[in-house]
Amino acid sequence: MGTGTHSQEELVLAFLLEGGEGFTSGEALSDKLGLSRAAVWKHVESLRGRGYRIEAVPSRGYRLVEIPDRLTPLELSPLLSTYELGRTLHYREELPSTNALAYRLAQEGAFHGEVVICEQQTAGRGRRGRSWVSPPWLNLAFSAILRPDLPPQRAPELTLVAAVALAEALREAGAADAAIKWPNDVQVGGLKVAGILTELSAEADKVHFVVLGMGVNLNLSEADLPEELRGTATSLMRARGSRVPRALFTAALLSHLERWLERHVEEGFAPVREAWKRLSSTVGQRVRVRTERSEYVGLAEDIDEAGALLVRVDGGRLERVLAGDVEQLRPATR
């Protein structure tokens, strides 16, 4: 968002948010910001022009009545409690793919924690080149640039770190049964609500950066879904029965993600693995696995220390699945 006027507007907005349902006097805003009352009024008018409903009452001051449902730095920045994640936001109304822009920014030297976020992806991608359907102004699509101090062979652990953070954030927001389907989908009521796509730039012994992309269905109704996805996808709004304040959810998710990334740095993969298993809809399920070389059915027993899925194939042998499609043969209802 830059500096100057926009950052002053962010500060006005932050103070109004702090005031909650009460009024904040123009005098208090002037003192806190070091601005004239006329300058405060100008920023309030500018915020109104951006869709904020702000009540002004003589001798009482200003009160924030309604926030527009957008994901610009103006909406997000005052809500963030992270140290690094999302503190630099690259916002676009429309992008082919947040991962693609984040990857380019990382190549150009963007720092750890920078986030690309948009209202609509026109060429969003899931795993294995599949498209990710997301109408504008309803959902969340973002990519975080990470610069972890990890050997490349441990980079896939970050997908599972992200899945744990996402499942926890969804549960906290009202989807009590949010669960992780190996390796990178999150389900609610057995239906897909979110997906994760990580992309890596590395040498043999060093990770340059990881781009961690997430797509989350927040305020999608069944009518917004293409016919072929209506039996397989859902949204947080449908799970909890009310619209989701997208900026609040985004800020909460970034907090969960930063906490789990820090824990992964400090304690390694073991606590991530335990949390993942607790939140998993895959472990304990009969599954059909399709890889490039084979297809088989068995029981998903566990994930190992590297995050690979361990499947006990009908017939007794244990298969270690690093990549492939895993279909749960009966819906999970955890």
| SS3 letters across 37-66 | HHHHHHHHHHHHHCCCEEEEECCCEEEEEE
* Statement to judge: residues 114 and 171 lie in one domain: yes
CATH of the domain at 41: 1.10.10.10
Q: Determine the pLDDT at residue 1.
A: 38
| DSSP structural state of residue 280 | B
Q: What is the pTM of this model?
A: 0.87
* Statement to judge: residues 51 and 115 lie in one domain: no
Q: Which of 278, 296, 318 is the last residue of a domain?
A: 278
* Statement to judge: residues 202 and 159 lie in one domain: yes
Query: Domain for residue 58, yes or no?
Result: yes
* Statement to judge: residues 105 and 12 lie in one domain: no
At 229, the amino acid letter reads L
Query: Domain for residue 232, yes or no?
Result: yes
Q: Determine the pLDDT at residue 189.
A: 93
* Statement to judge: residues 59 and 198 lie in one domain: no
End-to-end CA, the chain: 41
Residues 6+ apart with CB under 8 A from 22: 63
Residue 55: strand pairing partners: 63
* Statement to judge: residues 249 and 154 lie in one domain: yes
Q: Determine the pLDDT at residue 124.
A: 64
Instruction: Report how far apart, in Å, the C-alpha atoms of 177 and of each of 188, 189, 205, 317 are.
Output: 6, 7, 39, 31
Q: Determine the pLDDT at residue 6.
A: 55
Distance between CA atoms of 186 and 235, rounded to whole angstroms?
Answer: 11
Note the residue count of the chain: 334
Q: Determine the pLDDT at residue 323.
A: 84
Query: Domain for residue 333, yes or no?
Result: no
Q: Is the distance from CB of 15 to CB of 24 less than 8 angstroms?
A: yes
- Crossing angle of helices 157-172 and 270-278, in 10° steps, is 50
Query: Domain for residue 115, yes or no?
Result: yes
Q: Determine the pLDDT at residue 195.
A: 94
* Statement to judge: residues 217 and 86 lie in one domain: yes
Domain that holds residue 316: 286-328
Q: Determine the pLDDT at residue 136.
A: 85
Query: Domain for residue 334, yes or no?
Result: no
The tally of domains found in the chain comes to 3
Other CB atoms within a 10 A radius of the CB of residue 227 amount to: 6
* Statement to judge: residues 117 and 55 lie in one domain: no
Residue 276's SS3 state is helix
Instruction: Report how far apart, in Å, the C-alpha atoms of 163 and of each of 121, 184, 275, 277, 297 are.
Output: 21, 6, 10, 11, 24
Distance between CA atoms of 177 and 197, rounded to whole angstroms?
Answer: 22
* Statement to judge: residues 106 and 194 lie in one domain: yes
Give the residues of the chain that fall short of pLDDT 50.
1-5, 127, 332-334
Q: Determine the pLDDT at residue 224.
A: 84
Angle at 190 between CA 187 and CA 195, to 5 degrees: 25
Q: Determine the pLDDT at residue 76.
A: 92
Distance between CA atoms of 190 and 328, rounded to whole angstroms?
Answer: 9
Structure tokens at 77: 């920045």
* Statement to judge: residues 9 and 123 lie in one domain: no
At 16, the amino acid letter reads L
* Statement to judge: residues 19 and 79 lie in one domain: no
Q: What are phi and psi of 189, to 5 degrees?
A: 60, 30
Instruction: Report how far apart, in Å, the C-alpha atoms of 169 and of each of 18, 51, 77, 78, 194 are.
Output: 23, 27, 18, 19, 12
* Statement to judge: residues 46 and 110 lie in one domain: no
Structure tokens at 301: 């027993």
